[in-house]
Structure 1
Amino acid sequence: MKMSYQELKNKPKTLQSLTGLNPQEFQTLLDKFAQAWTAYVEETFQRATRQRAYGAGRKAELEQLEDKLLFILVYFRLYPTQEIQGFLFGIGQAQAHEWVHRLTRVLNQALGYDQQLPEREPAKLEAVLTTCPSLEFIIDGTERPINRPQDKADRKTYYSGKKKAHTLKNNVITQRGGKVLFLSDTYEGKKHDKKIADEEAYQFPQASTLWQDTGFQGYAPEGVKIEQPKKKPRKADLTQAEKDENQTIAKIRVEVEHQIGGIKRSQIVVQKFRNRVDHYADDVMEIACGLHNFRLSHRPRKAVQPQKVV
């Protein structure tokens, strides 16, 4: 029996395990997904030059819209091989490959309709951050593994000394107590977090506060108050006051680690990335951030008051 939404809609725990969304969230996203699918069909299959009407020909493997959304959410949540993904939904590997890339585009559009995608243009960052009620932000870098490149030069470029593996890297900027607001471009693992920030030239609202770790040592945008742990001096120790301050900063910065953990509920950005289609590695990270933001927006949670620095 192939997997279908009809089979899973009355099994909320199983549905959430497979997709990362509970039934109510699934239905909410389905509304936006339907709009995105309609736009995709109009753009792709209803061109004036198209000779065959949409719906003609053989029956689609994923006929129901609910199954289309289920298909792509399962792929992002579990990241099975396309052979297994096809088996789960009763189609072959080649068809699974086509549906993965087709529905990735539609899912991205759906999250865009719901305004859950992070900003990607550094030039627009300041305008996005200015709308936040609290001008306190956290920046951090995150890495995800890839298969060992065959090319020798690529092996050196994508090798991360920190992770001791070949990786891809992004910077994320979050609002304290809020969502992922910005996602950088995707870079090779060798590139340093601070260098990405310098090259993308982020601009922050005046008088805002930026919390960062020692990976951004020396990064200080104009007009921004920087909160960063003090590094241990060579051949010396931190004072007790400095240790206490570092601990206070760490308690606040841990929020971004929770956000990154939410992003990485999508196993497609946790397991070794296997897809080789151009730009797909960047697309999936954007969608993983969007799915995390979507859950934060639509799932009731206890109000957490941001900690204050004493």
Structure 2
Amino acid sequence: MVNPLEHIRLHPKVAKQLIGLTLPQLEQLIKQAIAKNKERKKAAEDHKIRVNKKGAGRAKNLSEEAEICLTFFYLRQMPIFEVLGIMFDVSRTTANDLFHYWLPILRDLLPCSLLEEWQNSIKNDEFVQELLTSYELLIDSAEQQRERPKNYQEPKKFFSGKKQKHTFKNQFVSLPKGRDIVDVIVGERGPEADVNLLRKQQDNFSESQNFKGDKAYIGANRTITPQKKPPKRELTLEQKESNKLISQSRIYVEHLIRLIKIFRVAAERFRLHSRSYKQVILVICGLVRFRIGALKF
């Protein structure tokens, strides 16, 4: 069987279908991830008390490039680890271990939002917040089904009446036209009201920051929303036209969420342990930012 990485290099046009990135983007990320891994290893080696000789132990079956490709392949296609191991010619356990090894490295490499990227580089929250006030930021949320919690009380907390399933809720803030993910909240309870999440998220922004959302955000401060139809009455033509304009401008945040859901691990029932949910979704947010050109190295 041909290794998926070799297949992608032989047929670059299928790269987006298989891993959600173009071949040049994949090669660039592989290079950056390998460099980040070397940094982590060097930092660990400096504090390690060595017992065995360096380089001892079983030799690896896969190159680092193939290991990173395995991680991207899982995020995009979400096969069971048995199938993933067969595709990359490793055991199910090794496939699982490799995925969880590279996931935190990618998390360090890929800032999930513009706020996180700027805060890591500029380290001046007030300056960052002031820059964003010239925009009306778009906001929307999405739910994702999760495994039914085993704890007796947990199912009640995560059961969504809207979806009739146990779900996580994620909320995304984007620039106009969906040019970048500005901020994200991940792994909240499915029944949590969108407007309550926005009120929490507004703490990350200036008090003069304006937002634009759908009817779920009616009542939030500094937030433009469509008008609801009054009971037993109709909206006026002006109100309908205003709602239409709002919908046309905020549809781009839904397009951004669609890009996130291209990665099946973010769209279908989340099968991994719930404690890894936040890390997985934030990595995907970083991948989407890199895919659309908002994140550069």
- TM-score between the two structures when normalised by the length of structure 1: 0.85
Letter in 1 for 2:40: Y
Counterpart position of 2:76: 77
User: What CA distance in whole angstroms lies between the structure 1 residues aligned with 2:54 and 2:246?
Assistant: 57
Residue 251 of structure 2 is matched in structure 1 by: 254
C-alpha distance in 2 between matches for 1:4 and 1:257: 31
Query: What do residues 213-258 of structure 1 show as CA deviations (whole Å, max 9, x unaligned)?
Result: 11112110xxx4x321001112221112111110110001101000
**For 1:219, what is the secondary structure of its paired residue?**
coil
Mark the CA change 1:268 to 1:77 in structure 2 (over 3 Å): closer, same or farther.
same
Pair 1:199–1:210, CA change in 2 (3 A)? closer
What are the equivalent positions in structure 2 for 1:263-282 lying under 5 Å apart?
Answer: 263-276=260-273, 278=275, 280-282=276-278
Pairwise CA distance, 1:277? 5.7
Q: Is the 8 A contact 2:173 2:182 kept in 1?
A: yes
In structure 2, relative to structure 1, the CA distance for the partners of 1:190 and 1:117 (3 Å cut) is same
Q: Which has the higher helix share?
A: 2
1:212/1:227 contact within 8 Å kept: yes
> For 1:161 and 1:53, how far apart are their aligned partners in 2?
57
Classify the secondary structure of the residue corresponding to 2:37: helix
| Paired amino acid for 1:91 | V
Aligned to 1:21: 21
1:55 deviates by: 3.2
> Could you tell me how far apart the structure 2 residues matched to 1:124 and 1:156 are?
40
Instruction: State the alpha-carbon separation in 2 of the partners of residues 180 and 31 from structure 1.
Output: 24
Please give the alpha-carbon distance, in whole angstroms, between the structure 1 residues aligned to 2:105 and 2:292: 21
Once the two structures are superposed, the pairs formed by residues 115-194 of structure 1 within 5 Å of their partners are: 117-119=113-115, 127-132=127-132, 134-177=134-177, 178-194=179-195
**In structure 2, do the counterparts of structure 1 residues 219 and 277 end up closer, same or farther at CA, with 3 Å as the change threshold?**
closer
Residues 1-310 of structure 1 aligned to structure 2 (within 5 Å) = 1=1, 3-44=3-44, 47-62=47-62, 64-112=63-111, 117-119=113-115, 127-132=127-132, 134-177=134-177, 178-205=179-206, 207-220=208-221, 224=222, 226-276=223-273, 278=275, 280-297=276-293
- Flag the 1:152–1:238 CA change in 2: closer, same or farther, 3 A: farther
Cα distance in structure 2, aligned partners of 1:118 and 1:84: 35
CA contact (8 A) 1:77 1:268 kept: yes
> Any stretches of 5+ residues in structure 1 without a counterpart?
300-310
- Identical-residue share of aligned pairs (%): 25
SS at match of 1:183: strand
Q: Distance in 2 between matches of 1:58 and 1:36?
A: 23
Distance 2:60 2:83 in 1: 19
Contact 1:2 1:90 in 2 (8 A): no
How many pairs does the alignment contain?
A: 289
Q: Deviations over 1:129-169 (max 9, x none)?
A: 43349422111111111122233422221111222221101
**Partner residue of 1:303?**
none
Q: Describe the shift of the 1:185–1:54 C-alpha distance in structure 2 as closer, same or farther (beyond 3 A).
A: farther
Q: Is the 8 A contact 2:186 2:281 kept in 1?
A: no
Contact 2:133 / 2:209 at 8 angstroms: preserved in 1? no
Name the SS of the counterpart of 1:52 in structure 2.
coil
Q: Distance in 1 between matches of 2:144 and 2:11?
A: 32
TM-fit CA distance, 1:270: 0.6
Within 2, Cα distance between the matches of 1:136 and 1:201?
13
Residues 170 and 216 (structure 1), Cα distance of their counterparts in 2 relative to 1, 3 Å cut: same
Deviations 1:108-136 (A, max 9, x none): 12224xxx645469x98765343349422
Could you tell me which amino acid in structure 2 is paired with residue 219 of structure 1?
A
Secondary structure at 1:31 match in 2: helix
Helix, strand or coil: the match of 1:292? Answer: helix
Q: How high is the TM-score relative to the length of structure 2?
A: 0.88
Question: Are the aligned partners of 1:135 and 1:205 in contact in 2 as well (CA < 8 Å)?
Answer: no
In the alignment, structure 2 segments of 5+ residues that lack a partner are none
Amino acid paired to 2:17: S
